[in-house]
Amino acid sequence: MIKLKVRVLALLTVLCLMPAGLSCGFSGVAQDKEVNNYSFIKDVSAVVHKGDIEYSQETLKDIKNHVNIYMGNGLIGGCIDYLGSMGNPDNRKSVSKTFISHKGFYGRSGDGKECIVPVYTLDFDVTCKGKKLSLNQLEVKDYKQKLDIYEGVARTSFTIYDGGKKIAAVSMEQWMSQYMRNLYANKVDIESFNSEQVEFEPKFKVLNDYSFEGTQYTTESNSSERNERIIYSIKTNTSSAELVFIPAKGYKSKSITKDSAGYIYSVDKKTSFNIDVLSIANNEELVANDVLKKYDSIAYEEHIKLHKKWYSGFWKESLVSFGGDTPFLKIWLRGNYYFAITESAFKSVPFVPHGLSGHAWSYFFPQDYSYVYQNYLTANHRGMADSTIMYWYEHLEDAKAYTKKYLKTEGAFFPWTPPFYNYDSFNKNSIPGQ
């Protein structure tokens, strides 16, 4: 019998003030293929899937050329590392880079550049025969990871062996919702194969020791129980949040460990659980219980169905066919995916025109704003293109003040790395990132 120690649902309640947003719908205007040589095709998914990103055990051996999978929904974002949470299966050293970020949390790096600060990271602990190991210290085989850009879903699967014995098969499904504000889902399925005792523990780590100049994380030492939830608070100089751990549906807890902010479950044979994150901006005038009520009223299958519907709609109105199967097509498709994940279906969230904004890199991905605008126009998403112009129009006075104060000239210069929240206060006594 295999015991699975399971950390379950998480609710991240972000209390940072977000600016008023803009509508960013699609134009749905078809272009004349005789003019631009584009054409809509019946099976859009077949074309878009050519841009999917796939990794195997062999591709991971070349660490330098491996790029983590990135996901987002315009407000939260994150990179999904090898194994969906851990390091290279062929490298015994843990190199986890699965970070979840919110664009209301930002800091300044050592070289003075402003950047998104990860709110927390996700790892897995595995205990085999009483000894705690990371997944990459066990034998990991049959590793596969795929980012389905048509559905906006990342899937990871692998098999764990110990001493040549097959212990368990693990598969994960991760996505950041494009229909429900700030929902990050990580569905994990585990199947065990022998009677040796193994504990498999998904582990959230609030980054209370993660700091930048002017930004410090602190976590309350005392957690509290509220409706079977364990709550931790996070504070920075500009933002605050609550990270809430919630027991998964359908499982009864064996015991509760307050120190590690988790519920321990004993499960036999085959099981699955969800790790979900919800973050709520306080200007939404919603409380956590209201959002939880809405979340609990819909089954997981319905949640992901609505999410996929947004992506399929995005691609069906996109001009994606270059003809044939060329490297240019892959570049075009993946480029549009990365632009799409900075967009959002939420009317109240402003579009921020950065290639990978909201994600867990230590810097913003630099994109020329005119290029972002042109990219959406050529991809047939005029609503998104308009939102880039409107976003900066609404921030025109801020840009003028920035230009006059720091560049000592008149006009409106938009910095490459503008923060998303409390900009003036953050830069009160310092020079912003260049």
In a domain, 360, yes or no: yes
Q: Is a pLDDT exceeding 80 seen at residue 156?
A: yes
In a domain, 50, yes or no: yes
Q: Is a pLDDT exceeding 80 seen at residue 175?
A: yes
Q: Is a pLDDT exceeding 50 seen at residue 380?
A: yes
Q: Which domain holds residue 82?
A: 9-391
Helices (runs of H) and strands (runs of E) counted in the chain: 9, 19
E-state strands within 181-239:
183-192, 198-206, 218-219, 224-225, 230-235
H or E element at residue 390? helix 382-394
Query: Residue 52: pLDDT band by 50, 70, 90 thresholds?
Result: very high
In a domain, 43, yes or no: yes
In a domain, 411, yes or no: no
In a domain, 131, yes or no: yes
In a domain, 426, yes or no: no
Name the more confident of 115 and 77.
77
Burial 208-225 (b: 16+ CB within 10 A, else e): eebebebbebeeeeebee
Rounded mean pLDDT of 423-430?
53
Q: Is a pLDDT exceeding 70 seen at residue 158?
A: yes
Q: Is a pLDDT exceeding 80 seen at residue 155?
A: yes
Residues 6+ apart with CB under 8 A from 319: 31, 36, 38, 40, 378, 379, 380
Q: Is a pLDDT exceeding 80 seen at residue 370?
A: no
d(CA 233, CA 215): 15
Query: Residue 322: pLDDT band by 50, 70, 90 thresholds?
Result: low
Q: Is a pLDDT exceeding 70 seen at residue 177?
A: yes
Question: What is the tens place of the pLDDT at every residue in 99-115?
Answer: 777 665 655 555 555 55
Query: Residue 46: pLDDT band by 50, 70, 90 thresholds?
Result: confident
In a domain, 76, yes or no: yes
Residues paired with 186 in a beta bridge: 174, 275
State the total domains in the chain: 1
For tokens 């790892």, what's the residue?
Answer: 123
What pLDDT was estimated at residue 151? Answer: 96
Q: Is a pLDDT exceeding 60 seen at residue 276?
A: no
What pLDDT was estimated at residue 274? Answer: 52
Identity at 59, one-letter amino acid code = T
The CATH number covering residue 168 comes to 2.70.98.50
What pLDDT was estimated at residue 396? Answer: 78
Indicate the pTM of the whole model. 0.71
What pLDDT was estimated at residue 235? Answer: 53
In a domain, 403, yes or no: no
Name the more confident of 282 and 232.
232
